[in-house]
């Protein structure tokens, strides 16, 4: 067994050992093709269960709801769409999915100048209209700029490199989470090679909001919102466990991350899901001196660094970058 572990160590160092002759010389025994396949399976299992990754668990930036609560910041915008505008919107949605649907301007009526400056100027049409934007709002102007500055700081402090991320990053379906991650990735990966994968079950609001029709934006509709890197071919793992509670959905997602190709995983989530993930980390066998930080209220863009070794997650540190 010690010789097998030696082979595994060589593999971890990047050495190729698929050659049967090399295996035979290291293990001091002849290998039939049957034994060779069994050994490869054991090695894959060993590497899959012990691969070490760093998880960036990031709380989304400031959304309109964070700034204004449940107030109807849209005011009477729902009453201002004429029949002709509605018809154009419907045709755009049905026949021109890849083009931007009819946009609507956020009215300034009854809003003080300071508050208006922090609101997005234009919102693209989406299913659910007013109710959808109120329940699942975008980032404020401050939130968008803060996300970009945050990404620039990650790069300048050498905390992240695009080649370490594999081919994807992850977000819950909350619009502010996807928008935050898109702003970050515009800086980290301007070539758009790294895709955003949306996991519906990672939203704390998932079960409640899906009782209302068309609240979350579907993966294939983000293009119309100016978010161009969403992976529309991805099949969410949490979709299979959508009837389970949030903690069970998180466990299913964590198991899937064992197969993530990069050394670093980025997750952008709302505060409730962040806290749920951190609570699940505290129950592991491995301890951290800074685990108590998970009890703090998550600030906007508050980032927790989680060490993942196999199925065990440990909170190592947390930062709030200016």
Give 252-271 pLDDT, tens digit per residue. Answer: 999 899 889 999 999 999 99
pTM value > 0.75: no
Instruction: Show the tokens assigned to 69.
Output: 């609560």
Tell me phi and psi for residue 104, to 5 degrees: -125, 145
pLDDT of residue 106: 62
Fold (topology level) of 51-64+139-319: Rossmann fold (3.40.50)
Q: Is 103 helix (H, G, I), strand (E, B) or coil?
A: strand
Asked whether the beta carbons of 199 and 215 are under 8 A apart, the reply is no
pLDDT for the residue 228: 94
Measure the CA–CA gap between 322 and 132, rounded to whole angstroms: 31
293, with CB counted inside 10 A (0-12, 13-18, 19+), is middle
pLDDT value, residue 29: 43
Instruction: Show me where the domains of the chain are located.
Output: 2-49, 51-64+139-319, 70-135
Give the start-end residues of each E strand in the chain.
Answer: 52-59, 103-105, 122-124, 168-171, 195-198, 264-269, 303-309, 312-319
| List of residues 6+ apart from 254 with CB closer than 8 A | 280, 308, 311, 313
Least Cα distance to 56 among 301, 284, 249 occurs for 301
3-state helix vs strand vs coil in the chain, percent to 5? 50, 15, 40
- pLDDT tens for each residue of the chain, 322 residues long: 434 333 334 344 443 433 344 334 333 444 444 444 444 444 344 344 457 899 999 999 999 988 877 666 765 444 444 444 444 445 554 544 444 445 556 655 545 555 667 888 777 888 877 778 888 999 999 999 999 999 999 999 999 999 999 999 999 999 999 999 999 999 999 999 999 999 998 998 776 554 555 578 989 889 988 999 999 999 999 887 777 888 889 999 998 998 899 999 999 999 999 999 998 885 444 444 344 444 445 589 999 999 998 878 999 888 887 6
């Amino acid at each position: 067994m010690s010789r097998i572990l030696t082979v595994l160590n060589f593999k971890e160092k990047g050495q190729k050992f698929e050659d049967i002759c090399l295996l035979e010389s290291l293990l001091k025994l002849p290998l039939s093709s049957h034994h060779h396949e069994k050994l490869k399976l054991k090695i894959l299992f060993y590497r899959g269960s012990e691969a070490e990754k760093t998880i960036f668990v990031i709380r989304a930036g400031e959304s309109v709801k964070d700034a204004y609560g449940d107030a109807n910041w849209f005011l009477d915008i729902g009453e201002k769409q004429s029949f002709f505008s509605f018809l154009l919107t419907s045709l755009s949605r049905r026949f021109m999915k890849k083009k931007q649907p009819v946009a609507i301007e956020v009215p300034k009526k009854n809003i003080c100048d300071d508050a208006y400056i922090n609101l997005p100027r234009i919102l693209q049409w989406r299913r659910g209209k007013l109710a959808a934007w109120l329940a699942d709002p975008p980032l404020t102007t401050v939130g968008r700029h803060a996300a970009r500055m945050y990404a620039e700081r990650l790069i300048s402090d050498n905390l992240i490199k695009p080649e370490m991320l594999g081919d994807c990053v992850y977000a819950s379906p909350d619009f502010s989470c996807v928008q935050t991650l898109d702003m970050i990735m515009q800086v980290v990966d301007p070539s758009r090679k790294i895709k955003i994968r949306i996991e519906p079950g990672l939203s704390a609001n998932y079960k409640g909001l899906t009782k209302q029709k068309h609240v979350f934006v579907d993966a294939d509709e983000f293009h119309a919102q100016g978010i161009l890197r969403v992976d529309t071919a991805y099949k969410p793992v949490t979709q299979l466990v959508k009837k389970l509670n949030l903690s069970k959905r998180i466990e299913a997602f964590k198991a899937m991350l064992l197969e993530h190709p990069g050394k670093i995983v980025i997750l952008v989530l709302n505060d409730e899901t962040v806290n749920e993930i951190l609570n699940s980390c505290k129950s592991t066998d491995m301890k951290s001196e800074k685990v108590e930080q998970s009890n703090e209220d998550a600030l906007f863009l508050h980032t927790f660094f989680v060490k993942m070794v196999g199925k065990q997650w440990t909170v190592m540190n947390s930062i709030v970058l200016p």
